[in-house]
Amino acid sequence: MASSYWESTQRKFWTFTKQQLAFERKKIEESERNLVNLYPLPDRRYLSIYFGNLLTKLARALTIRQQALATAQVYVRRFYTKIEIRRTNPTLVLATALYLACKMEECPQHIRMVLAEVRHCWADASFNDISKIGECEFTLISEMNSQLIIHHPYRSLAELQTQFQLTQEENALAWSAINDHYLTDLPLLHAPHVIAITAMVLAVVLKPTQGGLQLNAAGLTGALQSLGNARGAPQGTQNRVQKLVDWVAESNVDIEAIVECTQELISLYDVWENYTDKTCKDQIAKFVKARGLDK
């Protein structure tokens, strides 16, 4: 097991540039052009929210801790960089990813319990055979080349929050931003510490109050502007944002990467405002049933 992200398979094999990721996805779509044309799907970000909602509901029912849920979300995202979604039963993939993630995060769940909660939580789940989860687990492991160790931003946040004297509310907001970034491509694009630093910067800039800790597109747009202002502020400016930006500059962390992460979250929250489950559910059910993937 790689204790360091810098020596990990995550960094070596599962961190892409945006161009590389787009190329991989285009290659998959081109290889399955007939399926893609026959069964159109909603925006990828809608699907990410839909999958995230399903996994969160199942994880809560099984009282699975956040890190295992996050690992499952990364597994799903990795898997679908290798396999065209229309060739799979997504609910089976999601349930199996969570089952496998619990093993890897040392909080294993009995396979029968997972299946029982799937039936309870997902009324439209289209599989009911334990052996399907076992078969899918083998496929997941194979497609990820047995590279299953995931490094998360939570550890970096825990190490840095004391240094930057985050309040309890700011820490909660940073944690929330990290949770939400799993609904984007960011886990495949940036190192965990970049995500954690982005979350801290946003938490400080947004100045959460007791009245609410909700992230939204408008708030993050303001945060991005504040970050830009801090970058151009006089050296004598000694507010907390400036201190964070100064620290980032001295640590050689790419500020442009932080801006890119913030923009990706803005895009997510903007899309989220118009999201409904029904569109994703109906479109997925269509190809699952038509292709007999529910058997």
Structure tokens at 235: 């050296």
The whole model's pTM is what?
0.89
- Indicate if the pLDDT at residue 222 is higher than 70: no
Section 91-97 average pLDDT: 96
Section 111-119 average pLDDT: 92
Domains and CATH numbers, the chain: 42-149 (1.10.472.10), 153-272 (1.10.472)
10 neighbors 149 (Cβ within 8 angstroms): yes
- Indicate if the pLDDT at residue 200 is higher than 70: yes
Per-residue pLDDT band for 207 (boundaries 50, 70, 90) equals low
- Indicate if the pLDDT at residue 24 is higher than 80: yes
- Dump the DSSP string for 194-212: HHHHHHHHHHHHH--BTTB
Question: Cα separations (Å) of 114 from 1, 77, 108, 181?
Answer: 26, 20, 10, 25
Comparing 76-80, 137-141, 206-210, 268-272, the range with the smallest average pLDDT is 206-210
Instruction: Give the model's pLDDT for residue 224.
Output: 57
pLDDT tens column, 41-85: 999 999 999 999 999 999 999 999 999 999 999 999 999 999 999
Q: Report the 3 state secondary structure along 75-137.
A: HHHHHCCCCCHHHCCHHHHHHHHHHHHHHHCCCCCCHHHHHHHHHHHCCCCCCCCHHHHHHHH
Q: Which long-range contacts (CB under 8 A, 24 or more apart) does 242-251 make?
A: 243/164, 244/164, 244/197, 244/200, 244/201, 244/204, 245/201, 247/164, 248/197, 248/201
| DSSP conformation class of 291 | T
CB atoms within 10 A of CB 184: 22
Q: Tokens 């161009």: give the residue.
A: 19
165 neighbors 32 (Cβ within 8 angstroms): no
Instruction: Determine what percent of the chain is predicted with pLDDT higher than 90.
Output: 62
Instruction: Give the model's pLDDT for residue 248.
Output: 75
pLDDT tens column, 125-169: 777 788 999 999 999 999 999 999 999 999 999 988 888 888 888
Instruction: Give the model's pLDDT for residue 35.
Output: 93
Instruction: Determine what percent of the chain is predicted with pLDDT higher than 70.
Output: 86
- Dump the DSSP string for 226-264: HHHHHHTS-TT--SHHHHHHHHHHHHT--HHHHHHHHHH
Per-residue pLDDT band for 255 (boundaries 50, 70, 90) equals confident
Instruction: Give the model's pLDDT for residue 135.
Output: 95
**Distinct helix (H) and strand (E) counts, the chain:** 16, 0
Average pLDDT, the chain: 86
